[in-house]
Amino acid sequence: MRFHDAPLLEQLSINLGPQCPIDVEVVKWVAKAVERCVLRKLEFELRWNNEPMRMPNSLYTCETLTKLILAEKVLVDVPCPVYLPSLYRLDLLDVVYKDEDSHVRLLSGCPFSSA
């Protein structure tokens, strides 16, 4: 990921299983893609035996993100404010919420939630 220089990363799919080591730097990969404003679609599934993993705060303000799928042991800990103006699809499958406010903040920052 650190050598990726394309102007657009259409899709980033990360699926980690039970045998995955806990020191993988996937959150840094996601943060780098978001910071460079090149990410359109993110699918992140975490099926490991460790604690749920928190996504970078910058994910929740990614202006280019159109599709977000978070599954399994992803910790949804959403800061305020959320700004996802291009998002048209959000899938939250068996995720772990830090608290009810995180869930509410995430949905309130999605353009389709006010329709």
- Tell me: the pLDDT tens digits for 60-74? 988 888 888 888 888
| Confidence category of residue 102, pLDDT binned at 50, 70, 90 | very high
Q: What is the pLDDT of residue 26?
A: 72
Range of the domain at 75: 9-114
Question: What's the total number of domains in the chain?
Answer: 1
| Confidence category of residue 3, pLDDT binned at 50, 70, 90 | very low
97 is a domain residue: yes
| Confidence category of residue 27, pLDDT binned at 50, 70, 90 | confident
1 is a domain residue: no
- Please compute the mean of the pLDDT values over residues 29-48 and round it to a whole number: 72
- Please compute the mean of the pLDDT values over residues 46-51 and round it to a whole number: 73
Tokens 């657009």 correspond to: 8
104 is a domain residue: yes
How far apart CA 98 and CA 111 sit, in angstroms, is 22
42 is a domain residue: yes
pTM value surpassing 0.85: no
105 is a domain residue: yes
How far apart CA 74 and CA 24 sit, in angstroms, is 14
Burial 28-60 (b: 16+ CB within 10 A, else e): ebbbbbbeeebbbbbebbbebeeebbebbeebb
2 is a domain residue: no
